[in-house]
Amino acid sequence: MTLIKTFHLNKTFKLKNLKIPAVEDLNIEINSNDFFALVGESGSGKSTFLRLLLRLTKPDKGRIVFKDMDIWQNSKENLKDFYHSIGVVFQDPYSSLNPRMKIHTIVEEPLKIHNNKYEKKEVKLRIIKTFNELGLNSELLKLYPHQLSGGQRQRVALARALILEPEILLADEPLSALDISLQASILNQLMEIRDKRKLAILMITHDLNIVRAVSTKIAVMHLGRIVEEALTREIFREPLHPYTKILLASIPGFHRREREKIPKISTEDKASWTLKGCRFYNRCSFRMKICQEKIPPLKSFNNRKVRCFLY
Ligand code: ADP
Ligand code: MG
């Protein structure tokens, strides 16, 4: 079943005399059995896409449909099913958990917001169940966020996102602030939860290594455009786009303490956003004359897509 589908989605930011088409003609389909990874370096438009999905930023053009609901054509009142069906988690558990609330209050909040229709007993059972799934000790419920470790905090953020038993988890760099062993253990738990609950996942990350073993599909985003999309095993068997090749070849650094923020535009990117043709032109070792003149279309073949004149 299709959960989320976008049609020609566009969002351009204007900074002085620079236009940044952070999301350009994005057509993405996420199904209920997908672990969909959206990957690309910082500044490629991944978080902007999520903000459009969450109705936090309004698209300039295009549509986003959740099941049969156009999320920008409906009022928030009409979107109860949508908000009930998604769980959201961001990179930075330090700022996403209210420091003045006890963990218990933080985790039960979504249940309260949604009509209060859950009985006390049900709330308790759900919290315990979710905590168990994430390997969290229920003793933590009495504490405040600052009394928890980074890994515990991100698990609490996940527990809150999963407490309503959503159909899809939308996660923006959820593991990027954690070290590699923590990343692996949280990913394992997420995979078990995904199996048990039939949970779809959209994971946004700059780190292909994180999603390598777990995702079913990968879409690679570069300066606002999807440049490649395929099954994860196909991407790793044979990356087609020169940018995907570079991403695969780069060894990811870990233990990043980068905070969730709007990325600064590098001088290199500044020049590339305004290119008439392919935005990867300046970095590409396979570039041809046509790449400078025309935007390469996203071509479909063999069940995969690539935006490059080489194919
Ligand atoms: P990513 O999540 O892939 O790192 P973002 O979606 O945060 O990328 O940003 C994509 C581009 O859009 C960047 O060049 C960024 O500077 C720009 N951008 C994002 N949000 C804003 C905003 N609110 N105002 C202006 N520019 C923005
Ligand atoms: Mg981001």
Pocket, ligand 1, Cβ cutoff 6 A? 13, 15, 20, 22, 40, 42-48, 262-263, 265
Ligand sitting nearest the alpha carbon of 48: 1
Residue of the CA atom closest to atom 25 of ligand 1: 13
172 CA: nearest ligand 1 atom: 2
CA of residue 220 to ligand 2 center, whole Å: 14
Ligand sitting nearest the alpha carbon of 42: 1
Least confident of 14-28, 67-81, 247-261: 247-261
Residue of the CA atom closest to atom 6 of ligand 1: 45
- Segment 53-95, tens digit of pLDDT: 999 999 999 999 999 899 999 988 888 889 999 999 988 766 7
Sheet (strand 299-301) strand order: 86-89, 168-172, 200-205, 35-39, 217-222, 225-231, 304-306, 299-301
Enter the tokens of residue 209: 């290594």
Q: Write down the residue that tokens 């044979």 correspond to.
A: 238
* pLDDT at residue number 263: 64
Listed residue (146, 90, 106) closest to 261, CA to CA:
90
CA of residue 168 to ligand 1 center, whole Å: 24
Tell me how far CA of residue 121 lies from CA of 108, 111, 141, 143, 171, in angstroms: 12, 12, 16, 21, 29
Nearest-Å Rg of the Cα atoms of the chain is 20
Percent above pLDDT 70 for the chain = 94
* pLDDT at residue number 93: 67
The confidence band for 266, taking pLDDT boundaries of 50, 70 and 90, is confident
Q: Residue 257: pLDDT above 80?
A: no
Residue of the CA atom closest to atom 22 of ligand 1: 13
The confidence band for 120, taking pLDDT boundaries of 50, 70 and 90, is confident
Q: For strand 2-15 and strand 69-70, is the pairing parallel, antiparallel, or unpaired?
A: unpaired
Sign of the Cα torsion 250, 254, 257, 259 reads: positive
Contacts of 25 (CB under 8 A, 6+ apart): 8, 9, 10, 62, 225
CA of residue 292 to ligand 2 center, whole Å: 28
- Of 20, 23, 279, which is best to mutate to test ligand 1, by the most ligand atoms within 8 angstroms of its C-beta? 20
Which pTM value belongs to this model? 0.93
CB 185 within 8 A of CB 209: no
The confidence band for 32, taking pLDDT boundaries of 50, 70 and 90, is very high
Half-sphere exposure of 303 (CA within 13 A, CB side): 7
Contacts of 149 (CB under 8 A, 6+ apart): none
* pLDDT at residue number 253: 38
* pLDDT at residue number 116: 65
Contacts of 194 (CB under 8 A, 6+ apart): 35, 201
Euclidean distance between CA atoms 129 and 80, whole angstroms: 24
User: How many CB atoms sit inside 10 A of residue 181's CB?
Assistant: 10
